[in-house]
Amino acid sequence: DAGVTQSPTHLIKTRGQQVTLRCSPKSGHDTVSWYQQALGQGPQFIFQYYEEEERQRGNFPDRFSGHQYPNYSSELNVNALLLGDSALYLCASSRDRLYEQYFGPGTRLTVT
């Protein structure tokens, strides 16, 4: 049984560009959350998707947007990239509200 998978593993973008990161949840999970982990820091919650809708959102600007598909996979989009967006982006999945989150290995985004 595959766990949470994310693609790509690494990405380099230029300031002002847009990026899309992808996540496939663990089998049987229907809820996907995204986190940003800057170097040397703990992950910060960006938002959570359930039933194809954004259910919760952390303190991130609307340059950060997402989508969830009927098969529960999810995308994180970031527009107008800033140097400060360089981070490890983690996806986590869970089975409804009652169960803990399982994390993927992350996508390392570098903005130059």
Partner 1 sequence: AQSVTQLDSHVSVSEGTPVLLRCNYSSSYSPSLFWYVQHPNKGLQLLLKYTSAATLVKGINGFEAEFKKSETSFHLTKPSAHMSDAAEYFCVVSHSGGGADGLTFGKGTHLIIQP
**Do 21 and 89 meet the contact criterion of CB atoms below 8 Å apart?**
yes
Minimum distance from residue 19 beta carbon to partner 1 (Å): 20
- For partner 1, what does the binding mask look like between residues 53 and 92, x meaning CB under 8 A? ---x-x-------------------------------x-x
CB atoms under 10 Å from CB of 50, counted, come to 17
C-alpha 88/C-alpha 65 separation (Å) is: 16
By the criterion CB under 8 A, which residues form the site for partner 1?
3-4, 31, 33, 35, 40-45, 47-48, 56, 58, 90, 92, 94-106
